[in-house]
Amino acid sequence: METLNAFAPELIRMIIAVIGAAVLVFGNALVMGYMERKLAGHFQRRTGPMEVGFHGILQLIVDGIKLMAKQLVIPAKADKPLYMLAPIISFAPVFLPLLVIPFSDRIQGFDLDVALLFMLAIASVNVFAVLIGGWASNNKYSMFGAFRAVAQSIAYEIPMLLSLLAIVFMTNTFSLRGIMDAQNVWFIFLQPVAFLIYLVSMVAETNRAPFDLPEAESELTAGFHTEYSGMAFSLFMMAEYTNMFIASCIATVFFLGGTSGIPLPYFEYTGIIWFLLKAYMFMFFLVWIRWTFPRTRFDQLMNLCWKYLLPFSLVNLLITVVVVKL
Amino acid sequence: MKAYFSELFTGAWSLIVGMKVTLKALFSPVVTVQYPRQKIDVTPNYRGHIDLIKDPETGTHRCITCGSCMRDCPSDCIVVEGEKREGVKGKVLTLFTLDYTKCSHCGACVEVCPTDALDYCDDYEVAGSAREDFHYDLIKRVEERE
Amino acid sequence: MNVDVFEDERQHHFVLNMGPQHPSTHGVLRVLLKMDGEYVLDPQPVLGYVHRCHERIGEFKPAKAFMPNVARMDYLGALIYNQGYAMLLERAAGIEVPRRAEYIRVITSELNRIQSHLLWYGAYLLDLGAFTPIMYTFDDREHILDALEDVCGSRLTYCYSRVGGVCKDIDDKFIERVRAFIERLRGRFPMYEELVNGNVIVQRRMQNVGEYTPELCARFGVTGPLLRSAGVEYDIRKAEPYSVYPEFDFEIPLAQKGDAWAAFNVRFREMEQSLRIIEQALDKLPDGEVMAPKVPRKLKLPQGDYNCSVEAPRGELSYYLVSDGSDIPYRIKVRTPSYSNLSVVPEVCKGMMIADVVTCMGALDLVIPEIDR
């Protein structure tokens, strides 16, 4: 009883944080889905969704209902347990990194000391989901998508980590709160090369165009999620949008100072407005480049990583270490 | 070595230039016409299915049942029948049907008609649920038109 | 088609079916790819999914009545197919076409060529994964289609040329619209250059994909922009001039390298040359009739065989008609360019990655209905 009293505030805090993360995941999927389709329309000089609600605002809700009501078609020779497991593996870990992101001074689930390592570790779990999904579908196209996705994800984690490591060297802490607080000058000005490297790796890690080979629509007819329909497909999509959001949040915290900006009243709670503004700016950037560029070829993708990003990030790290130690 | 950096910079610059183009398109007006709510006028020369023209003077069609359109049609979709009635010079048209499911919009029937009795109509919102919806009885259509 | 079991002992090779339903094979084309991991060992196209027996239909219809069918063979170059067939019958029957009709045919054919190239451009980039340029090119195409709808009555499968001329005259509204369109498209080319042609991703995807040598093209009978991208200067409008093309001043874009990037550039520059032809034709448009005075209703072709070649957007289009003296031909043979262009795929695409197969086939600019007829 005493121990329960002692633990209760933390427990309540964690429960609220998890509920908040769930709200964020679904809310983000709604907003991002709508934003992506409307922006895609306007980039192509057409309107995007217009029918459901005023200028299509309710479109995503109706889409969600449709996806839930759809029949889950399972291919006959698919490996059934693995087939059903893949979307769950993709979607479930996506709540965890949201618990450690400092949305504002008081709004944070849990201030972990090794938050960055935690988040990158969770991001790697997505590779499993893609691989299992592609394999279990019993479809050669999906298998292709899975192979490419594995190689791509593993390769691009390295420049991502190295560029963020340069920032960690400057601030001596892995905790996101610490990095955010240590920015008197935003790190985008102190580490522009790391910023650019991180930007490219972010696009590749979240499997967005021009690096969306795992879901290359026109070559492989939707790659690893070809055989998924209904809710399973929407789990993959929500996981992808949330991964985009998490990567944008990391970029905001590391390079744009998180919640720093013109102080608003009740800044401890309203700092989240600046944070979300900056994070959604990165999401806009991701949508923008998706609808502008074609897809790179697989070997060109790997070339970009090994021949361009990796040397630059290593050299950047070296220079940072030398300058910090001086 | 120099090629490495120059390729990198020209490549990155081309990407930024491309992004500028789409950004400009983002702020340009949309070119969509939201069809059921807004409609564009169809040009009068659009080739829809053929119709008998209602002659303003006689109030009826001008067909003389010569059958040229039936013979010239490449897709065999026109059926013209007439009968000889007493007291009337030439044949009287009794049946003129068009099977629109076979029409290829070539225009041979309109061009070959000696009395210019046929013309295209500009009806493009034709949708039906059975084949019979597209078997047009042109005599009935010309009588019902005002 | 029987595919024998293709496996080696370690079972690394497998057969991937780029099936009749695929976003990138433009039409219903099936390509059987024997693959080793990501590399294609042996691509085999399987044809016949859109076979509609057009040539057989030509054997029991009067020759004049075959005109709507030729437009259905290649729906993107329908006016050029119309022109070619009309020229064939005019050559066979010895009918002369008035000059105004020839000019109108040239103007509408070149507009059709531009429209076909614009669609190819957008669809090719859609294969590569860029979703926006196709929307921009379709926007440009709408202007052409609206102008042609006013004259020909249809938007895609035209039946405009007749034996002895064209069926309807053009008016000032059409001329104004076409001039406005020429201005507009010239203003859009820099935008396409910036967005697509200069883009490093597009260039890297297309360069060094496929090699078309003049010798390879001669072996398979490749014509059109592909042949010109290999360095051979052969365009029927200049090599065997027909209609009033000798009166216009235009260039034939050439490239030397013979890969997908060269073909891409050649087709892009062809659009500009077509604009030049249209401008000159509009300036020099003569007055007069648009239909020859005495065209018999029942067109009896003298016994013998007749041939006519025109330059379609995809290459050389040839009609061959064997007549036995009546008005129904004994045999019509249509040599479509995409058939020969497709036949290079088994040789050129050996050893490529699957993404490159898509790029290579997109550069060929195939329209499957004209392959299968």
Q: pLDDT over 90 for what percent of chain B?
A: 8
Is the pLDDT at A178 greater than 80, yes or no?
yes
> Which positions 226-285 of A are in contact with C (Cβ < 8 Å)?
none
Q: Is residue C14 part of a domain?
A: no
Total structural domains within chain B: 2
Name which of B18, B47, B106 is nearest C199 (Cβ-Cβ). Answer: B18
Mutation pick from A143, A297, A299 vs chain C, by most beta carbons of C within 10 Å, is: A297
Closest-CA residue to A126 (of A225, A50, A200, A193): A225
Residues 6+ apart with CB under 8 A from A239: A87, A90, A91, A94, A126, A129
Total structural domains within chain C: 1
Q: Is residue B140 part of a domain?
A: yes
Q: Are residues B105 and B133 in the same domain?
A: yes
Q: What is the pLDDT of residues A74-123, one digit of tens each?
A: 888 877 888 888 888 989 899 889 988 888 877 888 888 888 899 988 88
Q: What is the pTM of this model?
A: 0.90
Q: What is the pLDDT of residues A16-50, one digit of tens each?
A: 889 999 999 999 999 999 999 999 999 999 988 98
Q: Is residue B36 part of a domain?
A: no
At A317 the pLDDT is 92
Q: Is residue C239 part of a domain?
A: yes
Q: Are residues B24 and B75 in the same domain?
A: no
Rounded to the nearest angstrom, the minimum Cα separation between C227 and chain B is: 29
Residues paired with B91 in a beta bridge: B84
**Contact flag A295-C135 (C-beta cutoff 8 Å):** no
Residue with tokens 């262009």: C341
**Contact flag C69-B43 (C-beta cutoff 8 Å):** no
Q: Are residues B69 and B2 in the same domain?
A: no
Is the pLDDT at B105 greater than 50, yes or no?
yes
Q: What is the 3-state secondary structure (H, E, C) of chain C?
A: CCCCCCCCCCCCEEEEEECCCCCCCCCCCEEEEEEECCEEEEEEEECCCCCCCHHHHCCCCCHHHHHHHHHHHCHHHHHHHHHHHHHHHHHHHCCCCCHHHHHHHHHHHHHHHHHHHHHHHHHHHHHHCCCCHHHHHHHHHHHHHHHHHHHHCCCCCCCCEECCEECCCCCHHHHHHHHHHHHHHHHHHHHHHHHHHCCHHHHHHHCCCCCCCHHHHHHHCCCCHHHHHCCCCCCHHHHCCCCCHHHCCCCCCCCCCCCHHHHHHHHHHHHHHHHHHHHHHHHCCCCCCCECCCCCCCCCCCCEEEEEEEEECCEEEEEEEEECCCCCCCEEEEECHHHHHHCCHHHHCCCCEHHHHHHHHHHHCCCHHHHHC
At C3 the pLDDT is 45
> Which positions 50-69 of C are in contact with B (Cβ < 8 Å)?
61, 64-69
At C184 the pLDDT is 92
Q: Are residues B27 and B93 in the same domain?
A: no
* Mean pLDDT, contiguous 10-residue spans, chain C (373 residues): 50 76 75 82 88 90 88 90 92 89 92 93 88 91 91 88 88 91 92 90 89 90 91 90 89 89 92 92 90 85 90 92 89 92 90 85 88 87
- Compute CA distances C288 → A72, C56, C95, C104, whole Å: 67, 37, 17, 11
Q: Is residue B78 part of a domain?
A: yes
Q: Is residue C48 part of a domain?
A: no
- Write down how long chain B is: 146
Name which of B19, B28, B29 is nearest A292 (Cβ-Cβ). Answer: B19
At C297 the pLDDT is 82
Q: Are residues B77 and B114 in the same domain?
A: yes
Is the pLDDT at A166 greater than 70, yes or no?
yes
When the pLDDT of each residue in chain A is averaged and rounded to a whole number, the result is: 85
Is the pLDDT at A217 greater than 60, yes or no?
no
Mean pLDDT value of segment A199-210: 87
Burial of B82 (0-12, 13-18, 19+ CB in 10 A): middle
Q: What is the pLDDT of residues A231-270, one digit of tens each?
A: 888 888 899 899 999 999 999 999 988 887 777 777 677 7
At A310 the pLDDT is 92
Task: Name chain A contacts of B6, Cβ cutoff 8 Å.
Answer: none
Q: Is residue B44 part of a domain?
A: no
What CATH number has the domain bearing residue B66? 3.30.70.3270
Neighbours of chain C (3+ CB pairs under 8 A): A, B
Neighbours of chain B (3+ CB pairs under 8 A): A, C
Rounded distance, CA C332 to CA C328, Å? Answer: 10
Q: Are residues B73 and B25 in the same domain?
A: no
Which structural domain range is residue B54 located in? 50-144
Mutation pick from B26, B27, B34 vs chain A, by most beta carbons of A within 10 Å, is: B26
Is the pLDDT at A297 greater than 90, yes or no?
no
Rounded distance, CA A52 to CA C209, Å? Answer: 45
The answer to whether B128 contacts chain C (CB < 8 Å) is: no
Rounded to the nearest angstrom, the minimum Cα separation between B87 and chain C is: 32
Cβ-contact A226, A217 below 8 angstroms: no
Q: Is residue B37 part of a domain?
A: no
Q: Are residues B65 and B27 in the same domain?
A: no
Which structural domain range is residue C217 located in? 54-336
Name which of B12, B31, B47 is nearest C153 (Cβ-Cβ). Answer: B47
Rounded distance, CA A153 to CA A203, Å? Answer: 10
At A314 the pLDDT is 93
Name which of C22, C126, C201 is nearest A293 (Cβ-Cβ). Answer: C201
Q: Is residue C351 part of a domain?
A: no
Count the Cβ atoms, other than its own, within 10 Å of residue B144. Answer: 8
The answer to whether A306 contacts chain B (CB < 8 Å) is: no
What CATH number has the domain bearing residue C106? 1.10.645.10
At C294 the pLDDT is 83
